[in-house]
Amino acid sequence: MKKHIGFTLFELLITVFIAGLISLLAISNVLSQIPNFKVKEDIKSVEQALKKARSSAIKKSCVINADFAKALNNNGENGGIIEITEQDGTVLDSIILSHNSLLNQSSSTIQNNIVAFDYRGQPLDSTGATDGFNNTNNSITISYYDGSNPKFSESLTILPLTGNISKN
């Protein structure tokens, strides 16, 4: 009598089924985290935009704004848009966030959706003074929205006096 070495079709099907089930669970877990990864990437873009606005203000010796007004809504297939502008409204640069990544107005404390930097790189309050920009009006939160509810959020803080930016 010969001994056959190998697997039966039934054993092979069970093994493939179990491997497929484990893969399906792993993939669904990774896919659910994609919005979180997008928000982390977008907050880095916002940080770079703020640093660019501060640097431009110092280089040009004038007030430069990071305007978040268009970051409150999706813009077509894109998320919110942050514009770096001169005081007269001239747009120097635009940063486009991922779809459904928007400024979370209820968690952000910046005034009038604008962060302004003076010629020294110091942040300005809504009246144009550096001493009014304090710890109560210096945070920016970007959230990934699922409908009207924020699902994932990341925040930045702009330090008074120095204008340095730190992640929360």
- pLDDT tens figures, 52-111: 999 999 999 999 999 999 999 888 888 899 999 998 989 999 999 999 899 999 999 998
Q: Contact, 45 vs 38, CB < 8 A?
A: no
pTM above 0.85, yes or no: no
Q: Which two tokens stand for residue 128?
A: 């144009």
* CATH no. for 9-167: 3.55.40.10
Question: Listing from the earlier edge strand, what are the strands of the sheet with 91-96?
Answer: 91-96, 81-86, 64-67, 114-117, 123-124
Task: In whole angstroms, give the CA distance from residue 120 to residue 162.
Answer: 9
Is a pLDDT exceeding 90 seen at residue 130?
Answer: no
